A and B are shown apart, each in its own frame.
Chain A
Amino acid sequence: GEDVEQSLFLSVREGDSSVINCTYTDSSSTYLYWYKQEPGAGLQLLTYIFSNMDMKQDQRLTVLLNKKDKHLSLRIADTQTGDSAIYFCAESRPAGNKLTFGGGTRVLVKP
């Protein structure tokens, strides 16, 4: 199957950590991505992880990949009001080059 699933909504206080979760079904996925979409805008690439990695850290962002459970997470440290947006996880596969996206998680950061 091609399902990529995410929870719909996350509310977090400014300064706390946010954790956004994603599950996918296709074990042939090569790369897994996190994109951010602000209102009325396109998708901004935040980070990505290759399928043979377990963890990747990039400044305030930490990506964890559990291949056995096909579970991906994005942790945002010290969440700021500017982090309020919709976050999409996506997987890519060797053939066809298309990205399959989750439905997006809307993150609301409260001051």
Chain B
Amino acid sequence: EAGVTQSPTHLIKTRGQQATLRCSPISGHTSVYWYQQALGLGLQFLLWYDEGEERNRGNFPPRFSGRQFPNYSSELNVNALELEDSALYLCASSLGDTQYFGPGTRLTVL
């Protein structure tokens, strides 16, 4: 069974640009979660989507947004990129309580 997949693996942007990160959940999983792992800040919860709706949001500004598609895949969009947005962005999926993570997208903002 294929695990959670994320694309791209690496993304390099300049300050002020927009970044789009993508995630495909494990087949049959309806919930998708996004986390940010920034150096020195640890793993922080960003967003939770379930059945196409945003269910919960972490303490991040509105320029972090996303959506979930009818096939349960998800996009994370980060607008007006700032240097401190440089991080590993991890996507997870679940059917119940347990979250399974993808390999991450490393975003570098120059």
Contact = CB atoms under 8 A, between A and B. Distances in A.
Interface stretch (B11-19, B67-75, B98-106): B98-106
Interface string A93-106: 00011111111100
Given A98-B58, A100-B45, A48 B90 contact: no
A98 B48 contact: yes
The SS class assigned to the B binding surface is: strand
B56 interface: yes
A104 to B, nearest CB: 7
Contacts of B55: 96-97
Question: For chain B, which range describes its interface: under 10, 10 to 19, 20 to 34, or 35 or more residues?
Answer: 20 to 34
Contacts of A31: 97-98
Given A96-B56, A97-B33, A97-B48, A45 B100 contact: yes
A30 B90 contact: no
B102 A42 contact: yes
Nearest to A45: B100
B43 A88 contact: yes
A99 B102 CA distance: 15
Contacts of B100: 45
